[in-house]
Structure 1
Amino acid sequence: MSPGDCYPCDREAEFDRLPPREVVGHDDHWRVVHATGSGLLGWLVLVPRRHVMELADLTAEEAAGLGTWQLRLARALAAELGTPRTYVAEFGEAPGFHLHFHVVPRPVDLDPALRGPKVFGLIGRDEADEVSAHERDAFALRLADRLRTQANSLQ
Structure 2
Amino acid sequence: MTAGCTPCEMEALEDAAVVFRDDLWACEVLDGFDVPGWFVLRVRRHALRIGGLSDAELATYGRRARDLSAAVSEVTGAPATYLLTFGEANPHFHTLVAARGDEVPPERRLGGIMQQRTDRLDRPAALALVPAMAEAYARHAAR
TM-score bracket, normalised by the shorter chain, equals 0.7 to 0.9
Q: Which runs of 5+ in 1 are unaligned?
A: none
Q: 2:64 aligns with which of 52, 69, 72?
A: 69
Counterpart residue number, 1:35: 30
Counterpart residue number, 2:122: 131
In 2, distance between residues paired with 1:106 and 1:149? 22
Label 1:109 to 1:137 Cα distance change in 2 as closer, same or farther (>3 A). closer
Give 1:36 shift.
Answer: 2.6
In 1, distance between residues paired with 2:2 and 2:134? 31
Alignment partner of 1:49 is 2:74: no
Counterpart residue number, 1:9: 8
Q: Is the 8 A contact 1:32 1:46 kept in 2?
A: yes
Question: What amino acid sits opposite 1:7 in the alignment?
Answer: T
In 1, distance between residues paired with 2:41 and 2:112? 20
Give 1:137 shift.
Answer: 2.3
Question: What amino acid sits opposite 2:88 in the alignment?
Answer: E
Alignment partner of 1:148 is 2:125: no
Structure whose CA Rg is larger? 1
Q: Is the 8 A contact 1:39 1:122 kept in 2?
A: no
| TM-score computed with the length of structure 1 as normaliser | 0.82
In 2, distance between residues paired with 1:29 and 1:42? 22
Give 1:39 shift.
Answer: 6.6
Q: Is the 8 A contact 1:25 1:32 kept in 2?
A: yes
In 1, distance between residues paired with 2:96 and 2:2? 25
**What percent identity do the matched residue pairs reach?**
29
Q: Is the 8 A contact 1:85 1:105 kept in 2?
A: yes
Q: Is the 8 A contact 2:34 2:126 kept in 1?
A: no
Question: Aligned with 2:114: secondary structure?
Answer: helix
Q: How many residue pairs align between the two structures?
A: 143
Counterpart residue number, 1:101: 95
| TM-score computed with the length of structure 2 as normaliser | 0.88
In 2, distance between residues paired with 1:40 and 1:141? 16
RMSD: 2.1
